[in-house]
């Protein structure tokens, strides 16, 4: 698209303001209202991929159902005369959380706690509608400024969100890739890595990773090999945060959100928010790997050890197959 071009008879393109692996975002003026809008379209090669076209339409439908102040507003969606799918979104001034991390490193705990509360407000609305984000990470969290100059959070990119329940949103078909896994490995929950059915607890785990990164300046699990990352999400204990942070309500809430078992995490966004305020309703589980390994008597035969080894080999094989889907998804991104 070129500057001066008009989309849907009302959005006049000004300039490109962002670009990803498969999409472009333009700044445009709504000629009917005079307001600025962000127009999202697919790159030419992606526009020929029906699954990606469906994903953009789906993002419009899901995000358009969210009316809370911390979700990015979709004003209109449709297709141009040339057949390109587009989204007309509110224009945000600020920066992605990714850029904040890159430029400033670890953030003060008080600021991290305020960001977390607002992200949870967006997730609370989505979860009440039966929508699980599935790809929560710093690049999908945008920091604006309110009238007092404080952080005002916007959550976006519901393109791979999972819809549960049987409401109207079920009209949007489930997106899958080879292996059934979608997401970004360093922010994925253990059950998401295994390709299992997800609950809101999966989003809370991903948010826990984000909060850990904001506090420590790094994610707890990282490796060049995505399969290793997924194994770490399932098996490895979370490295401890600095003692002062770990002992605070924020640190305790982060630790609980990173429990390996979904049932040991928070049940709702409201419960997570309460824990951040120090209103803990149940004990925080101790840090642990996926499953405790009971000690075996010295005289026990080697056969049980072989069986345990086989379990981990099977898990590794499953994650290897799932990684094929992750790598394909990451290529789209």
Query: Would you give the distance in Å from CA 6 to the centre of its chain?
Result: 32
CB-count burial class (<10 Å; 0-12, 13-18, 19+) for 165: exposed
Is pLDDT above 60 for 301?
Answer: no
Mean pLDDT of 227-240: 96
**pLDDT tens sequence across 211-221:** 999 999 999 99
Q: For residue 61, what pLDDT is reported?
A: 74
Strand partners, 149: none
Q: For residue 18, what pLDDT is reported?
A: 83
- Residue 296 to residues 70, 146, 289, 299, 300, Cα–Cα distance (Å): 51, 59, 18, 8, 7
- CB within 8 A of 275, min separation 6: which ones? 249, 252, 253, 256, 266, 281
For residue 327, count other CB atoms closer than 10 A to its CB.
Answer: 16
Residue of 36 and 180 predicted with greater confidence: 36
Q: For residue 288, what pLDDT is reported?
A: 52
> How do the domains of the chain map onto residue ranges?
6-90, 95-294+316-332
CA pair distance 300, 286, nearest whole angstrom: 29
Out of 19-23, 103-107, 109-113, 153-157, the most confident range is: 109-113
Q: For residue 294, what pLDDT is reported?
A: 46
Strand partners, 88: 39, 76
Alpha carbons within 13 angstroms on the beta-carbon side of residue 68 total 21
Active site includes 135? Answer: yes
Is pLDDT above 70 for 296?
Answer: no
Is pLDDT above 60 for 240?
Answer: yes
Q: For residue 67, what pLDDT is reported?
A: 82
Q: For residue 311, what pLDDT is reported?
A: 47
**23-37, 172-186, 259-273: which range is least confident on average?**
172-186
**pLDDT tens sequence across 46-89:** 777 777 777 777 767 776 778 889 988 888 888 877 778 888 98
Is pLDDT above 90 for 189?
Answer: yes
Is pLDDT above 50 for 105?
Answer: yes
CA pair distance 310, 307, nearest whole angstrom: 5
Is pLDDT above 60 for 165?
Answer: no
Q: Which of 61, 53, 59, 64 is nearest to 22 (CA)?
A: 53
Extended strands (E) in the chain: 6-7, 11-19, 23-30, 36-42, 74-79, 85-90, 95-96, 131-132, 141-145, 151-155, 162-163
Is pLDDT above 90 for 282?
Answer: no
Is pLDDT above 60 for 14?
Answer: yes
For residue 178, what pLDDT band results from cuts at 50, 70 and 90? very low
Is pLDDT above 60 for 23?
Answer: yes
3-state class of 32 per DSSP? coil
pTM beyond 0.95: the answer is no
| 326 backbone dihedrals φ, ψ, rounded to 5° | -60, -45
Is pLDDT above 50 for 170?
Answer: no
Q: For residue 163, what pLDDT is reported?
A: 46
CA pair distance 51, 290, nearest whole angstrom: 34
Residue from 14, 35, 124, 135 carrying the catalytic annotation: 135
- With respect to CATH, is domain 95-294+316-332 assigned 1.10.510.10? yes
The CATH code for residues 6-90 is: 3.30.200.20
């Amino acid at each position: 698209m070129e500057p001066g071009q008009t989309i849907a008879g009302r959005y006049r393109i000004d300039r490109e303001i962002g670009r990803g692996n498969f999409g472009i975002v333009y700044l445009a003026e709504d000629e009917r209202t005079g307001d600025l809008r962000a127009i999202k379209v697919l790159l030419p090669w992606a526009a020929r991929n029906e699954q990606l076209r469906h994903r953009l339409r789906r993002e419009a439908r899901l995000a358009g159902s969210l009316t809370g102040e911390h979700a990015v507003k979709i004003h209109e969606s449709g297709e141009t005369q040339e057949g390109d799918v587009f989204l007309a979104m509110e224009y945000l001034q600020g920066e992605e959380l990714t850029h904040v991390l890159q430029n400033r490193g670890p953030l003060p705990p008080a600021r991290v706690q305020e960001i977390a509360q607002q992200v949870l407000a967006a997730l609370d609305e989505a979860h009440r509608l039966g929508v699980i984000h599935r790809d929560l990470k710093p690049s999908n969290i945008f920091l604006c400024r309110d009238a007092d100059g404080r952080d005002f959070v916007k959550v976006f990119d519901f393109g791979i969100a999972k819809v549960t329940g049987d409401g109207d949103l079920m009209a949007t078909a489930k997106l899958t890739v080879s292996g059934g896994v979608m997401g970004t490995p360093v922010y994925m929950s253990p059950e998401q890595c295994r390709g299992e059915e997800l609950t809101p607890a999966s989003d809370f785990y991903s948010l826990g990773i984000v909060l850990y990164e904001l506090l420590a300046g790094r994610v707890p699990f990282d490796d060049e090999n995505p399969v290793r990352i997924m194994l770490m999400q399932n098996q490895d204990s979370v490295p401890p945060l600095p003692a002062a942070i770990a002992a605070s309500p924020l640190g305790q809430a982060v630790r609980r959100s990173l429990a390996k078992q979904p049932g040991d995490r928070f049940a709702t966004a409201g419960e997570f928010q309460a824990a951040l305020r120090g209103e803990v309703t149940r004990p925080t589980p101790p840090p642990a790997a996926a499953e405790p390994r009971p000690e075996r008597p010295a005289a026990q035969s080697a056969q049980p050890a072989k069986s345990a080894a086989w379990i981990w080999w099977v898990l590794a094989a499953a994650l290897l197959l799932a990684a094929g889907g992750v790598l394909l998804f990451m290529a789209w991104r």
